[in-house]
Amino acid sequence: MTDNKKSKLIILTAGGTGGHVYPAEALAQELSQRGYRLMLITDKRGQNNYHGKLGEIENRAVLSGALVGKGKWFKIKSLIKTSLGILQSMWIIARRRPHCIVGFGGYASFPCSMAAILLGKNLILHEQNSVMSRTNRFLAKYATAVATSFSKTKYAPSGRRVTQTGMPVRSSISDLFTQQYTPSTGNRIFNLIILGGSQGAKVFGDVVPAAVKMLDNKTQKRLRVTQQCRADDVKSIEKSYQKLACKSTVSNFFNNMPELYSSGHLIISRAGASSVSEIAAVGIPSILVPLPTAADDHQTSNAAEFKTHRGGLVFSQKEFTPEKLASTLNHLINTPDELVSMSTNTKKFAIIDADKRLADLVEKIIRRG
């Protein structure tokens, strides 16, 4: 660690949802190990709510507001707040003189990213999804560099300014890449994991217990179901499983994801960028059900590689019925070789060193000045 690096400040700016926070956290850990000073700029909703490395570094809040999908007066108020947030960010940047700003999207990241552009500072954008968000789409026109998670990212600018770094995932997850998938055979327990993303995926609570109920008693007894859902739905879903022969754990949050991934045989999940990147890194066979209301249907695009390379099954939400899921589960549980093949195929397009690739890009931009 050199004194030169110690003197260099890098500002990270991100919205408060997991899709933005996880890659920012992974990059913060990597840059910190390389000796850089770090600061996080977000809005008041996110301030002091971060954990890990992001919770340890200096955290500043600025005003921001969403401009999409709301009424006229809400948009006017948001525009005023965002404008003030840009001024606040410009003051922080001018005073602290960072060598680079890295934006991870979300409207909370817009004021700081825009301030970097207006002040002529190096701005690197990281786009998590395979369809660039509206925020990053606008900022990308003026950014120094754009890092993408997927090989093909819709609306990303063309040319050498774009680099595929992958989606940084937590090291505790990426470390599982070398673990070989072990199928459940005979009468051994089959671990089924259901993750609904930040919105809880109510449809999973409606469909999965009903599908499990359609399985024969012998298959039900082999199942251990671990299901994440909205807090309001925990009791009703628990009640559904109590009537069945399977073992079940239902919660709105799990803090032992590496353990769950490590022991999982099949996962049912939304197709957010963090989710699909973690699933690929672990190599767990999957059934992906993209959120139909996601902006620009980006989750369907995120899941495309799984479908193309036979690393997982992709169902639209309309297709995701108890009858279809029961048939699929019955087939996969009793065809372990197919699950092994899905695991192998999934790992082929995983990028497990995305945090290092993104940190390399940051250092490259800093060296260029």
3-state class of 190 per DSSP?
Answer: strand
What pLDDT is stored for residue 1 in this prediction? Answer: 46
- For the chain (369 residues), the mean pLDDT of every run of 10, in chain order, is 68 81 92 96 76 90 83 90 97 97 93 98 97 93 96 91 94 94 96 84 94 98 96 94 97 93 97 94 97 92 93 96 98 97 96 97 94
Where do the domains of the chain lie, and which CATH numbers do they carry? 3-169+352-368 (3.40.50.2000), 174-348 (3.40.50.2000)
Query: Do residues 112 and 118 touch, judged by C-beta distance below 8 A?
Result: no
d(CA 268, CA 287): 5
Task: Give phi and psi for 162, each to the nearest 5.
Answer: -105, 130
**Which string of b and e fits 33-56 if b means at least 16 CB within 10 Å?**
ebebbbbbbbbeebbeebeebbee
Task: Count CB neighbours of 60 within 10 A.
Answer: 16
Give the Å distances, CA to CA, from 233 to 149, 227, 238, 254, 322: 32, 11, 9, 15, 18
Largest CA distance in the chain: 67
For the chain, counts of helices (H) and of strands (E): 17, 13
Q: What distance, in Å, lies between the first and last C-alpha atoms of the chain?
A: 20
Is pTM, for the whole model, over 0.85? yes
